[in-house]
Amino acid sequence: MFDLAIKRAHIVGESQTTYGNLYVKEGKIAAISSEELPASKAVDADGRMLLPGGVDPHVHFNDPGYTAGEDFHTGSMSAAAGGITTVFEMPLTDPLTADKESFLLKKNEATKKSIVDFGLYLALTPDNIPRVDELMQLQPIGFKAFMAYSPEIPMLADGELLAGMRAVKAAKSRLAVHCENNDIITYLTKSLKQAGRTDPRAYAESRPDYSEWEAVQRAVSLAMISGAQLHVVHSSTPEGARIVAQARAAGHNISVETAPHYLFLDTDDLNRLGPWAQCNPPLRAPGNADRLWDAIRDGQLNCIGTDHAPYTFAEKEIGVKNIWDSPAGLNNIQTSIPMLLGEGMARGIPATTIAKLYATMPAKLFNIYPQKGSIMLGADADMFLFDPEETWTVHVQKTFYKQKWSPFDGMQVKGRIKSTWLRGTAIYEDSNSGGAILVDPGFGSFIPGA
């Protein structure tokens, strides 16, 4: 007797979609069959799509310290409603997650609050590079470094970054890097401010595309020298994706993600929405999104991470008058996968390819595959039911975000998530009122890095 049967579904695997029934036993996918087999509970998919739960390699849930914007409870509820069943949370919290005490503090908060499974990054800073091997005892999913100034984490100079890569390599971990050229940004920002520019488009002009892909090239070069596993986060440019693809083709263990906002928004949206569309790296010129979709089609982008980065309404609103005064980050985790699937399939990209980007590839890159990231026998039964025909409009008030704003508010989306399961347990169910979370805080489990 199986615990759960999901019947009459189009089941999206890694290479093909098959029609049939999926069966779960003790939290694992136990059978995929055209036969009717006995199960304690059955769900009729009625021909809808069953896809692997998302593995989001890049979220900011702000816990601990900045929980007015989001915390692990509200952030993970939003993830579950968006079909994401595993998240890797960034260390830019208070205290900065850079040592044993801060890591265990965050792990404790997440263990109490999270609806979905989670891994945790450690910050790589000039101070803790000598202790990377010791910090691996905490089982972080990886380390995170910045090549440009950030208010939350010290940036690394090139020499420090190379030393950090060598330490991470020796510890058999991986390093996620935010790639922007700090000198270019500092110079352009000063010039634009001196010219009296406070408009949203000035923000994009202060961080041009070349300030990003130049830094990607530098990070890739250092990774090639050190042999480290490098993951370039939130690439907004196809040039950055191409640089990584070339290095990977040459045999180097280097990967790159993009984020949904670069696939759906541009500088016209930044000009229209102001701080509500402000992010780092910034949105790019019209037409850039099409080139990123081409990079997806060509296999140059390895995966997609939401970079869900909430701030309070008050923090964002300050930038309406002066864009330099507001922080950079967007709310988007609950809507990202439906938008990716709807737009991707409309562009002729198979659902199998989209699923690899948001689930299979991040699971492989961070060494939690095949437990996570794919619908296959023996894997965790992490999945969601998706109606590709249902059209709906994003209403931010119906999201689980603690701060009810998003640049995608009011956008029409084709394709809707109806249910989400984590380890075979239903954790989310859709409804017109905004959906319901079906498990208590703390249902999510810690995913150790390896």
Q: What is the DSSP string of 320-381?
A: GT-GGGS---B--TTTHHHHHHHHHHHTT--HHHHHIIIIIHHHHHTT-TTTSSS--TTSB-
User: What pTM did the predictor assign?
Assistant: 0.97
Query: 418 and 280: one domain?
Result: no
From 335, 365, 395, give the residue that closes a domain: 365
Residue 357 identity: L
The verdict on residue 178 lying in a domain is yes
Instruction: Report the pLDDT value the prediction gives residue 251, as an integer from 0 to 100.
Output: 97
Q: Would you tell me how many other CB atoms lie within 10 Å of the CB of residue 1?
A: 8
CB 144 within 8 A of CB 91: yes
Which pLDDT score is estimated for 228? 98
Determine the Cα–Cα distance for residues 34 and 29; give it in Å rounded to an integer: 15
Of 325, 344, 365, at which residue does a domain stop? Answer: 365
Give the span between the Cα atoms of 304 and 220, in whole angstroms: 19
Residues 313 and 382 in one domain: no
Q: Read off the pLDDT band of 268 (50, 70, 90).
A: very high
CATH code of residue 13: 2.30.40.10
Q: Are residues 144 and 120 in the same domain?
A: yes
Residues 238 and 334 in one domain: yes
Cβ-based neighbours of 440, under 8 Å, separated by 6 or more: none
pLDDT band at 225 (very low <50, low <70, confident <90, very high): very high
Residues 134 and 194 in one domain: yes
Question: Shortest CA distance to 124 belongs to which of 71, 173, 194?
Answer: 173
Domain extent for 382: 2-50+378-437
Q: Among candidates 386, 425, 388, which has minimal Cα distance to 45?
A: 386
Domain assignment present for residue 371? The answer is: no
Domain closes at, from 315, 338, 365: 365
Token pair listed for 19: 């029609």
Residue 443 counted as domain residue: no
- pLDDT band for position 207 (50/70/90)? very high
pLDDT at position 210 over 80:
yes
Pair type for strands 2-12 and 17-25: antiparallel
Judged against a pLDDT cut of 90, whether residue 431 lies above it is answered with no
Peptide bond into 95 cis (omega under 30): yes
First to last CA, the chain: 34
Q: Do 347 and 257 fall within a single domain?
A: yes
Do the beta carbons of residue 310 and residue 69 sit within 8 Å? yes
Same domain, yes or no: 357 and 424? no
Under the banding of pLDDT at 50, 70 and 90, the label for residue 433 is confident
Interatomic CA distance for residues 331 and 272, integer angstroms = 17
Instruction: Specify if 370 maps to a domain.
Output: no
pLDDT in tens, 104-139: 999 999 999 999 999 999 999 999 999 999 999 999
In a domain, 104, yes or no: yes
447 lies in a domain?
no
Helix axes 100-113, 72-81, angle to 10 degrees: 50
Q: What is the percentage of the chain residues whose pLDDT exceeds 70?
A: 100
- Lowest-pLDDT choice from 48-57, 102-111, 428-437: 428-437
* Sign of the alpha-carbon dihedral angle for 292, 295, 297, 299: negative
- Alpha-carbon distance of 127 to 115, in angstroms, equals 33
- Do 45 and 186 have their domain in common? no
Is 359 found in the same domain as 263? yes
Q: How many independent structural domains does the chain possess?
A: 2
Residue 178's pLDDT is what? 98
Identify the pLDDT of residue 450: 79
Tell me: pLDDT of 432 over 80. no
Strands 174-178 and 142-146, bridge-based pairing: parallel
> Does residue 259 lie in a domain region?
yes
Helices (H), 146-199: 158-170, 182-194
- With vertex at residue 10, the alpha carbon angle to CA 7 and CA 11, rounded to the nearest 5 degrees, is 90
Mean pLDDT score of the chain, rounded to an integer? 98
Regarding whether 411 and 298 lie in a shared domain, the answer is no
Question: How far are the Cα atoms of 83, 258, 335 from residue 289, in angstroms, in the given order?
Answer: 23, 11, 17
Query: What CATH number has the domain bearing residue 106?
Result: 3.20.20.140
Alpha carbon distance 56, 365 (integer Å): 12
Answer yes or no: is 89 within a domain: yes
Length of the chain: 450
Task: Indicate if 24 and 82 belong to the same structural domain.
Answer: no
Q: Specify the DSSP class assigned to residue 1.
A: -
Of the pLDDT bands very low, low, confident and very high (cuts 50, 70, 90), residue 339 is: very high
Give the angle 434-435-440 at the CA atoms, nearest 5°: 130
Same domain, 8 and 59: no
281-309 tens-digit pLDDT: 999 999 999 999 999 999 999 999 999 99
The secondary structure of the chain in percent helix, strand, coil, rounded to multiples of 5, reads: 35, 25, 40
